[in-house]
Amino acid sequence: MDYRRHIVRDPLICAGEPVIKGTRVTLRTVLASLAEGATIEEILLDFPTLTETDVRAVIAFAAPSTQEDLPLASVPPAP
């Protein structure tokens, strides 16, 4: 998915925090809802200006960043 079609960062909107295009809903807000266990359907009820594709774009945006933030698992020494 090309999340760039759905996510924008503008210094004049929400102090430059990434938001869903055409809204003031931040990615941080959507990710926090997901982390708390909300379903996509619940998020759409809470934020009726969003679409399912918007929420999936937030997930697609966040996924690559986890590769940079997580430490590598230690590899046990060879016997």
- Quick one: pLDDT at residue 3? 85
Higher pLDDT, 4 or 41: 41
The verdict on residue 47 lying in a domain is yes
The verdict on residue 70 lying in a domain is no
The verdict on residue 74 lying in a domain is no
Over residues 62-72, the pLDDT tens digits come to 887 666 655 55
The verdict on residue 34 lying in a domain is yes
Does the reported pTM lie above 0.85? no
- Per-residue pLDDT band at 4 (split at 50, 70, 90): confident
Q: Assign residue 48 the CATH number of its domain.
A: 1.10.10.10
- In the chain, alpha helices (H): 27-35, 40-46, 52-69
The verdict on residue 18 lying in a domain is yes
Answer yes or no: is pLDDT of 44 > 60: yes
Q: Around Cβ 29, how many Cβ atoms within 10 Å?
A: 18
Domain count, the chain: 1
Domain that holds residue 38: 3-63
- Per-residue pLDDT band at 58 (split at 50, 70, 90): very high
- Quick one: pLDDT at residue 62? 87
The verdict on residue 77 lying in a domain is no
The verdict on residue 68 lying in a domain is no
